[in-house]
A = this chain, B = another copy of it.
Amino acid sequence: MPFVRVDALGADRAKLDGLGRAVHEALIDAIGIPEDDLFQVLTSHDGTTGTFRYDPDYLGVHRDDGIVYVDITMRAGRTDDQKKALYAKIAELAGKYADTEPRNVFVTIHENQFSDWSFGNGIGQYLERNQ
């Protein structure tokens, strides 16, 4: 169910895959999603037709062009502690799998409902399961 968008600058395919893997394993570890609940769009921007703007020091965290934007949509219901654990694990694994420093990992979460997902075949699978 999580639907994840990752945006990076000048990343090759291996780096994109490493970032995707980091986010997915963190979701399994911190939030308890199933291992096969994997849906991600990973985009590298060239700095010209796709570019980032960011502050290099907001809230005392130093960032540079290694910054990675992680945008997660998942159903509502996770606790603050689960989200804290998620942020910590993404940052840890992004270093391990993609050489991205923790300071460069930006995450934002969008929450929605069981009714807001279709995983194929034109069916709202979570609606069938939870009614």
* Chain A residues in the interface with B (C-beta under 8 A): 3, 7, 12-13, 16-17, 20-21, 24, 34, 36-55, 57-59, 61, 63, 69, 71, 73, 80, 83-84, 87-92, 102-113, 115-125, 127, 131
Q: Is there an interface contact between B50 and A41, defined as CB atoms closer than 8 Å?
A: yes
Counted per complex, copies of this chain come to: 3
User: Which of B53, B87, B90 interacts with A38 by CB under 8 Å?
Assistant: B53
- The reply to whether B122 and A51 contact each other, CB–CB distance below 8 Å, is no
Q: How far is the CA of A108 from the CA of B112 in the complex (A)?
A: 9
With A83-B127, A109-B112, A127-B83 as known contacts, state yes or no: A120 contacts B63, CB within 8 Å. Answer: yes
The secondary-structure label for the interface of chain A is mixed
What are 27 A-B contacts defined by CB distance under 8 Å?
A: A13-B49, A16-B51, A20-B53, A36-B58, A37-B55, A37-B58, A43-B45, A43-B49, A43-B50, A59-B125, A61-B120, A80-B115, A84-B127, A87-B122, A87-B124, A88-B122, A89-B122, A90-B118, A91-B118, A102-B121, A102-B122, A106-B119, A107-B118, A108-B112, A108-B117, A109-B116, A111-B112
Structural contact, A91 and B122, CB atoms closer than 8 A: yes
- Chain B residue at minimum C-beta to C-beta distance from A23: B53
